[in-house]
A and B are shown apart, each in its own frame.
Chain A
Amino acid sequence: MSGTPINRRQFLTKSVKGAAAVAATSLLGKNLFPTPHIKNSKIADKVIVLGIDGMDPVLLRRFVDMGEMPTFKKLMESGFWGPLRTTMPPQSPVAWSSFITGTNPGGHGIFDFIHRDPKTFMPYLSTSRSFGAKKTLNIGSWSIPLQGGRVDLLRRGPAFWTILEENDIAASLFKLPANFPIQPGNSRAVSGMGTPDLLGTYGTFTFFTDLEIPDADKFTGGRVVKIKVIDHIVRSKLVGPPNTLRTDGRDTEIDFTVYRDPQEPVIKIVIQDHKIMLNQGEWSEWVPLKFELMPMFASVNGMVRIYVQEVHPNFRLYMSPINIDPMEAHLPISNPASYSENLSEAIGRFYTQGFPEDTKALSHGVFSNEEFLQQSKMVLDERLKAFDYEFSQFHEGFFFFYFSSIDQNTHVMWRDMDPTHPLYEPHASQEAKQAVYYFYRAMDDVLKEVLAKIDSNSTLMVLSDHGFAPFRREFHLSTWLVENGYTVLTDPSQMHEGEFYDNVDWSRTKAFALGLNGVYINLSEREVMGSVPPRDFLRIKKEIIARLAHVRDPQNGRRIVTRAYDSHEIYSGPYLDFAPDITVGYARGYRISDEAVLGKFPTGIVGDRKDKWSADHCIDPQSVPGVLLTSKEVKLENPGIWDLAPSILKSFGLNVPGEMDGKPIFF
C-alpha cells in the first residue's frame, strides 16, 4: 500500500486555516443538495450523524488521495471537511459526552475512562456505576432480593436529544457511546460503549484448551480453562455471572460437552438445548444460554459465539464474552426496553457489549491477526445489517449511528501498517497490513448509502471523536512522581511490587497519577488520605505542570509531554469537582503505561511498548483531532466536538440552552 507522504503537522495546520476557504469554494462550485422547493431551507427535517470512532484526518486524507474512498472525496468536494477539535483528554467517553451535551467536560463530569472516589479512593469506570441489591431476605443459602440492584449513568449535563424530544422531533440513537444505561424517553436508542458483558466487565472471553498457556492466570479480559480430551470427548463448564441470589455469591456455571471426530477436524458441542456441529476455523451463530440462579424460579439470559480454532492434535476453543442477550435483556440496553428484542427479530442477535472487537484475545495471543480480523469483520457485518435496517426505518427527525471498527482496529493493527513501528511484522499477511485501510474503505460504502438517500432537507455530519497516533514508548507517570518526590512510598525497596497504591505513604504524598491522563493533588480537604493543605495546592500543581513539560526520553532526548494542562484553566461548569487537577498531554509516540494507570510503579520512567495495542490517542488533543465532514457550509472556524449538539438543535430551528458552551457551526 503506498500513499502520498503527508507531513501531519503541516496538514493539520493547513486544514484548519483552509477550512473556511474550502467551504467557500464549495459554495462557488456545484451544490450537491439544491433546495429550490423548500421555502425555508435553513430548517432541516432530517439530521443524520455518522459517528466513526477514531477516524483520523490524516489517514482519511491519505486513503482518499489513493483514490479508494470516492464517496468521501465527493462529500469533501461538495460540502465541508476538516479536522474536528477534540476534548482534553481525547478519550472516547469524554469526547462523546461533549458531543452529547455540547459542553466541555466540566459540563458533563466525564474526565477519563477511570475516576476515583475521593472519599474511599476506589477507582471506577467513569460513565456508569452499578449497585448491588441492598435489601435481601435470606432463606438457607438463597438470598432473595427485596429491592433490586441498579446501574446509574454518571454522565451529567443536557443530552441534546432530550430537547429534540421536548419539541416532538423523533430521534434514533444507535450505539452512541457514554449512553449506558439508556435513560427512558421518547427516543429510540440502543446502548453502545460502556455496556458491560454479563460478567459486568468490558468483555471477558473464555479459552478452552489442552495446551499449557504461560501466564494464563495473568490474562486480563479473558479466562483460560485447561481441559483434557478423553476418548475424543471434552467435558467442561462455562462460568457465568455470580449468583446474586446465593449468600455465598458462587459463580453460575453451564456444563457442556464437546465430541471430537477421531480423524476429521469437526466437533459437536452440546450445551443446554443446543447441539452445534462446527468445523475447525468455523464460528457458531449466537448461542442463547440461561444461567440458572435458582432452579425453576430465576435465571439470567446471555449468549456466546463459539469459535473452533483447532481440533487435532491440540484442542483450542474460543467462546466470546457472554453478551447480554438482546432478545431478553436484563439490563437497560435499549429504549423502549423491548426495542432490542424487536431489532434482533429483524436482523438477528448482535453484540451488545460496548467494545465487541476482541483486542484482548489478540493481545494475549489467543487470536492470530487473521482470527482477530475475521472477528472484527463479523462485528462490522452485524453493524452494517443494523445500519441498513435502522436507516431504512428513518424518515424524519434525527438519526445517529456509531461505528467502532476503525477505532479498535487502528489500536491493534497500526503496528502492521507502519514499517517504522517497533512492533511492525515484515512478514505479516497483506490482510494484516491493510486492515486499517479495509475498515476505512467500509465506511465509504456506508456513506454512499447515506448520500443516495439524503435530500435538500437533510443535514449530514460525519464525525470522529479523535484521531490516532502510534504508541511506541510508555511513560511511567507514577514512577516519575515518585522520583520527583510527589508520591512517597512506605517501603521504596518494594517499589515494583504490590497493587494499586498499597505501598504509598499517604501522609507524605503530595500528588498521585490515576487514569489515562490524570494527576491529582493529595489535597487534605478532599482526598480521604489527603496531606496537602489548601495553601500549598496551587504551588504544587503549578510546579508539577512546569516539570512535566521538561520530561525527556533518556533514549532519544525527545519531549514526552507536549503540555500538561491545569484543569481550572481548561474546564468550566458545574462538575469540575470530578476532574483531575492536571491532565497530561503526551507527545505523539508516547502514552502513559498500563501499570501507571492503576497505581503500580514500574522501573524507570520510560519503556518500550510491547503490547499489540500499538496506537493510541490518549495524548495531547492538538495532535489527535477528529474529523468532520458535512453536507452544508461550516461557518464557524476551528469547530470542536462540543459545537455539534448546538448545531443539531439549530438545524431543527431550536434554541441552544445556556448550559451548552458549544457554538452552532452552520450559524
Chain B
Amino acid sequence: MFSKKIALDKELYDKAKKYAETAGYSSVDEFVTHMLEKEIANIEEDGESLDAVQERLRGLGYIS
C-alpha cells in the first residue's frame, strides 16, 4: 500500500487521537484519512458526484 508520512503538530495530533477514540476508529491514521477523504469530497462539489447531479437534473420534465 502506498503510504506517505504527514507531520501534524502535537496539539492537533492529540485532538485527533481523542476524537478517533471517541468515534471508535481503530487508529489515528484511519481517522485522519477518513476526515481528509470527507473534506476533499466536500471540496469536490459537496461530495455529490456528477452522476447524481445529472440524475437530479434529468428529473426535470424538460429533459430525459
Contacts and interface: CB of A to CB of B under 8 A. Distances in A.
Do A and B bind? yes
Interface of A: 113-114, 117, 120, 122-125, 130-132, 134, 136-140, 196, 200-204, 220-221, 247, 355, 359-360, 363, 408, 411-412, 499-500, 516, 594, 597-598, 611, 613, 616, 618
Contacts of B63: 220, 516, 594, 597-598
Given A594-B63, A594-B64, A597-B63, A500 B50 contact: yes
B19 A200 contact: no
Interface in B39-64: 42, 44-48, 50-51, 53-64
Contacts, number: 92
A613 B60 CA distance: 11
Contacts of B44: 120
B15 interface: no
Contact of B34 (A138, A499, A598): A138
Given A123-B53, A516-B62, 9 more contacts: A123-B57, A139-B24, A201-B59, A220-B58, A355-B60, A355-B61, A594-B62, A598-B57, A598-B63
Nearest to A408: B61
Contact of A139 (B23, B47, B55): B23
B8 to A, nearest CB: 19
* Majority DSSP secondary structure for residues of A touching B: loop
Contacts of B50: 122, 499-500
B33 to A, nearest CB: 12
A134 B42 contact: yes
B23 A138 contact: yes
A499 B54 contact: yes
A412 B23 CA distance: 52
A321 to B, nearest CB: 9
Contact of B23 (A123, A132, A137, A203): A137
14 contacts: A125-B56, A125-B60, A132-B42, A138-B34, A201-B59, A203-B59, A247-B34, A363-B64, A412-B61, A516-B62, A594-B63, A598-B54, A598-B58, A613-B61
A134 B25 CA distance: 19
B56 to A, nearest CB: 5
A113 B48 CA distance: 19
A589 B1 CA distance: 59
Contacts of B34: 138, 247
Contacts of B45: 117, 120, 122
Interface string B7-40: 0000000000001001111000000001000100
Contact of A125 (B19, B23, B57): B57
Nearest to A200: B56
B21 to A, nearest CB: 11
The CB with the most chain B CB atoms within 10 A, among A221, A360, A500, is that of A221
B62 A220 contact: no
Nearest to A593: B63
A611 B59 contact: no
Given A355-B61, A616-B62, A137 B56 contact: no
A360 B23 contact: no
A360 B45 CA distance: 27
A136 B34 CA distance: 12
A204 B22 CA distance: 38
Given A122-B53, A123-B54, A132-B46, A618 B62 contact: yes
Nearest to A591: B62
Contact of B64 (A123, A203, A611): A611
A203 B60 CA distance: 8
A500 B51 CA distance: 9
Contacts of A132: 42, 46-48
A120 B50 CA distance: 11
Contacts of B64: 220-221, 360, 363, 594, 611, 613
Contact of A500 (B22, B24, B54): B54
Given A132-B46, A139-B23, A114 B57 contact: yes
Contacts of A120: 44-45
Contacts of A516: 62-63
